[in-house]
Structure 1
Amino acid sequence: MASWDDLVLWVRVRYEVMAQNADSLTFRLPTTDDRDQLVYVHHRGEVDGHDWIQIESPIARLDDIDTRRLLELAEEAVVGGAVAIDGTAVFRHSAPLEDLTFSEFEAPFRMVTVTADRLEHQLTGTDRF
């Protein structure tokens, strides 16, 4: 059973943290073909008796993409979904923190970032985020 402090320590050992506060981390993960992806991890606290984290990775500014196409492309994702935050399309996934162990932290981060990177590339052809 993992805690928020466990996850913070695990990330700090493996990645260069760009920003951190009591309930969030920002860092970059490499994806494919010399691309990388910005990742935000938020500690959402207890919801319905479980301690939750939320993993987000930006895709593109909403004004720069066809949002209908985004939703169609996001259909292929195994976990998570596309949301809009402050004018930016973001791919997001949530998980109960206590269900994760150290060895299970990497998979949700990778799934979110690889999906966001793929969507960004398909919709914009760029690597802005």
Structure 2
Amino acid sequence: MADWGDLVTYIRQSYDVIKYEPDEVRIRVSFADDEDDLLGRRQIMVVAHEVLDEREDWVQIATPFARIEQVDLQEVLTEAGNTIVVGGIVLMGDYVVLRHSLPLINLDINEFTDPLDLVASGAEQLERRFTGRDDY
């Protein structure tokens, strides 16, 4: 992967893009609950271009999974510490968000797709466990 533009091109070809802005792409990732439920649950993923120290291009993968007032943050952090391999829990506005960042320089596609899948599935599991809903 050479740069942000190349990554966006890949995302547009490979994922269900629901919103595009020059430095941010939102995609919908779907999970089938079982073979009979083809729509299943969904997670909205925000893929954003970030510049670190005004010189290094990074990509940030993030998705909310709950509003802050919906969950016990200590329980969420404990669960994430025991089960989540990629990313970290942050508060962004009113939301509890699972996010992960990667440098774009020399990024191989699997270095993007694997963390994207892990962040999406991790947030989906946390959302299901702590809210019982499918809002994000």
Q: What is the TM-score when the length of structure 2 is the normalising length? A: 0.87
* Aligned alpha-carbon RMSD (Å): 1.6
2: CA distance, partners of 1:32 / 1:77: 20
Answer with 1 or 2: which has the greater Rg.
Answer: 2
1:77 deviation in Å?
1.4
Q: Amino acid of the residue matched to residue 10 of structure 1?
A: Y
1: CA distance, partners of 2:55 / 2:89: 25
1:21 deviation in Å?
1.2
- Unaligned 5+ segments in structure 1 are none
Which residue in 2 is equivalent to 1:115? Answer: 122
1: CA distance, partners of 2:100 / 2:110: 18
SS in 2 for 1:105: helix
Which residue in 2 is equivalent to 1:53? Answer: 59
Q: How does 1:22-101 map to 2 (within 5 A)?
A: 22-33=22-33, 34-47=40-53, 50-75=56-81, 76-101=83-108
User: CA, structure 1 residues 32+2, in 2 after alignment: closer, same or farther (shift >3 Å)?
Assistant: farther
1:99 deviation in Å?
3.4
- Does residue 132 of structure 2 align to residue 125 of structure 1? yes
- Unaligned 5+ segments in structure 2 are 34-39
Q: What is the TM-score when the length of structure 1 is the normalising length? A: 0.91
- 1:67-111: CA deviations, max 9, x gaps? 111111110211211111111000000011123223433111101
SS in 2 for 1:2: coil
SS in 1 for 2:127: helix
1: CA distance, partners of 2:2 / 2:84: 25
1:50 deviation in Å?
3.1
SS in 1 for 2:135: coil
- 1:17-57: CA deviations, max 9, x gaps? 11111111111112341111110011002448532111001
Q: Is the 8 A contact 1:92 1:112 kept in 2?
A: yes
Q: Is the 8 A contact 1:2 1:102 kept in 2?
A: no
Identity %: 37
Which residue in 2 is equivalent to 1:105? Answer: 112
